[in-house]
Amino acid sequence: MAPNSRGKSVSHMLLEVPVTYSKTATLFGTRGMDAMAVLASGQVYSVPCQKRLTDAMTKAHSHVVTRHDRQRFAVKETEDPREGRPKDTFKVHLEEKWCDCGKFQALHLPCSHVIAACFHAHLDYQVYIDDVFKVANVCRVYENTFQVVQGQMYWPTYEGPKLFPRPDMKRVKKGRPKKNRIRTEMDEFGKKERLCGLCRMPDHNRNNCPNVAGPSS
C-alpha cells in the first residue's frame, strides 16, 4: 500500500493499533490491581496523594502562623521553599478553600500553608482533601476494563466506506518537500529586482558585466 503523509504505510499503521491497544489494556489492568492492593491494606488515600501530604507537612512545621479569626490566617515561611521563589507570607481562608500560593485551589489538596493553619487552630486538615484522592474512588476508575479483541476470523464483515491515502500527500524520502501553496499577489509584493553587483544595472550579474572594464579615460 502507498505510504501516508508521514511516510508510514497503511499496513504498518494497522499493526500499531493492536499493539497500542494491548499495552493500554495491560497498563489499565496493572493499575487496577495496584489500587485494589492499596485499598486492601487499609489506606484511605492514594500513594501520590500521601507523598504530597508528607512533603507539605514537613514544610508546615517551619511556618509561623498568625490567626486573624476562625477561618483566616497569615502563614509566614521561615525556610527556603525550594520552589524557585523567595520566602513570603500567604493568606489562608479555610472556608473558601483559598491560599495565596494557588496550590490549594489547583490541586484540591491542602498545601503546607493550609496544613500549618490547621495545626495552629487544632483542626483536621484531612477534611480539605478532595474525595477524588481516596483509594476507593481510584478503584472505581478501573472497574471498566478493556475488552479482549478476538481473532480476525470472528470479526463481522465490514460494509462501510473504504479509505485510501492520497498519493499527492505522500512525502518523498529525499530532497526538500514540495510546496503546494497557491501563490497570490502577496508573493509578488515587495519583490526586489536583481541588479549587477558591480554596475548596479539589471539583466546581468558581475560575472558577465559589460561594464567591468569601465570607460576609457
Report the C-alpha gap between 40 and 143 in whole angstroms: 16
The pLDDT score that the predictor gives to residue 5 is 45
Residue 32 backbone zone (phi > 0: left; psi -120 to 50: alpha; other: beta): alpha
What cell was used for 173? 524520502
pLDDT of residue 168: 78
Question: Under 8 Å CB-to-CB from 192, ≥6 apart: which residues?
Answer: none
Cβ proximity of 134 and 46 under 8 Å: yes
- Domain ranges for the chain, please list them: 47-128
Q: How many CB atoms lie within 10 A of CB 206?
A: 11
Span 144-164, pLDDT tens digits: 888 888 888 888 888 889 888
- The pLDDT tens digits for 13-45 are 667 888 889 999 999 999 999 999 999 999 999
pLDDT at 71 over 60: yes
Mean pLDDT value of segment 57-75: 95
Q: What is the pTM of this model?
A: 0.61
Is 8 or 206 the better-scoring residue by pLDDT?
A: 206
pLDDT at 214 over 60: no
Euclidean distance between CA atoms 56 and 109, whole angstroms? 10
